[in-house]
Structures are given as C-alpha cells and as structure tokens.
Amino acid sequence: MLEINNLHAGIDGAKILKGINLTVRPGEVHAIMGPNGSGKSTLAQVLAGHPSYEATQGSVTYEGIDLLELEPEERSCAGVFLAFQYPVEIHGVTNAYFLRAALNSRRKCQGLEELDPIDFMDVLAEKLEAIGWDDSLMNRAVNHGFSGGEKKRNEILQMAVLEPKLAVLDETDSGLDIDALKAVAEAVNKLRTPENSSIVVTHYQRLLNFIVPDFVHVLMRGKIVKSGGKELALELESLGYDWVREPAGVG
C-alpha cells in the first residue's frame, strides 16, 4: 500500500529526514517511535503534503502512485488521512458543516453525489454509533475552544467519517489522560479493517497498549534505526531511547 524509499525531507533548508525506508501493507499497523526532534512529525506532515516541508530525495509510492506529486486534498481523496498533533481552531464553521464539506469533497472525487445536510446527519449518526460517541461536538465551531481531549477525539471522528485507507496518527496520545486515551484508542480499533492501514506516531509506549501495532520502528536523527514487533515498544519503555542509540548506522 505504501512504499517509502530513501526519503529525505526538511523544512526551511533544515534536513530532518535522512533516508527513511518503510513498507506498509494493507491491514497493518506500524508504530513510529522516537525521541523529540527525531523527525516523527516531519514524516507525518510530508505524507499529508504540508506545503512547508520539502522532500529532497527518495520516493513515496502509495497504491502505485507518486504520493509526493499530489496536492494535500488529492491525497485525502486518494484515502490518506492525517490526525493532527495540533488540530487547528477554526472560527465560525461548525463541525457538522466542516465534516459535510470534507465528506462531500471525498464523494465528489469518488464520483458519488454530494450529501445534503439531512442525509449527512444520517451518515454522521451511523459513524458516531460505530465508535460509540455522542454528537456534542457537532454544533460547535471546529476545534474552537475545545479541550485537548476533545480536539483529539474530533480528529478520530473525522477519520471515522472519511474512512481513509491509510491513516497517520501524529502523537494522538499527547495531552490525553488515561480515560481519553482509551476512548480514542478504542475508536481507532473499531475503525480497523483488514484492508486499512495505520501509521501511529508516538513518543510513548502507552498508546500502543491500546492500539497494538504489528511493527514498531524507532526513528532517530531522521533515520529508522531499529525495527521489530510490538515487544520492541516495551523494551524501549523500560530501557529508554539511549538503548538503541548504540548501534549507529543500522537501518
């Protein structure tokens, strides 16, 4: 589904990613772990197409197409989704309105008819039920005045509505207490299918107790220095990132 090959990328001339290789197959959950400043969020932003980040070398192939050539909205239509670490607060536009605009953009590029507000509410009710949440965030402006937990929940709700094939969760656990973390993780798990894949970017192992990954990759100084199964996350938790710092040049 996703093939990242020797990806180099950065922002404002600073080189952050220095040769990432990663293969994600349908149905897989990959965790990217690493200390602050290792390039985790840069990888997430580059995959979503943030205009400030520039890929200088290497390739990203998604379902056979060159992902880096696509505009952010085209990536979304192709099924890529980024759950933001810092969701943006928007004035005035209600969550319901925003979600409908997003879903209709998706439907448009799938060649489907746009949904009117009434039909959309039906779709939304179905999605909310699937993840077990209520509609209390719907009539508030997008992320405006939301608590940290509400913002993260809102990201997952958008994911539920847009049904991405590849979801990138960027530090979705940051700023969440344990109950909110569980609620978010449970929703993500409910959205898992044998076809859909996720890349879970996190600093801490905690989230991975709830969203169990198939693979764990350790990102340091812009490179994946170690890969393994879910047990690697536990080792990192007890031994710290210094433990993998030793065998330089791996990956």
Residues of this chain that bind other proteins (CB under 8 A): 48-52, 71-73, 75-77, 81-82, 84, 87-88, 90-93, 98, 101-102, 105-106, 109, 141, 158, 162
Instruction: Find the shortest distance in angstroms from Cβ 144 to other proteins.
Output: 8
User: Would you say 102 or 121 has its CB closer to other proteins?
Assistant: 102
User: What's the burial of 144, exposed, middle or buried (CB within 10 Å: 0-12/13-18/19+)?
Assistant: middle
CA dihedral of residues 30, 101, 71, 144 (deg, nearest 10): -70
C-alpha 104/C-alpha 144 separation (Å) is: 22
Instruction: Find the shortest distance in angstroms from Cβ 100 to other proteins.
Output: 11
**Host H or E run for residue 178:** helix 178-190
The DSSP-derived string for 110-159 is TTPPPPPHHHHHHHHHHHHHHHT--STTTTSBTTTT--HHHHHHHHHHHH
Instruction: Find the shortest distance in angstroms from Cβ 184 to other proteins.
Output: 18
Sign of CA dihedral 171, 176, 182, 187: negative
* Structural contact between residues 83 and 170, judged by C-beta atoms closer than 8 angstroms: yes
User: Would you say 70 or 234 has its CB closer to other proteins?
Assistant: 70
User: Would you say 200 or 218 has its CB closer to other proteins?
Assistant: 200
User: Would you say 53 or 215 has its CB closer to other proteins?
Assistant: 53
User: Would you say 166 or 218 has its CB closer to other proteins?
Assistant: 166
C-alpha 9/C-alpha 17 separation (Å) is: 5
Instruction: Find the shortest distance in angstroms from Cβ 98 to other proteins.
Output: 8
User: Would you say 13 or 51 has its CB closer to other proteins?
Assistant: 51
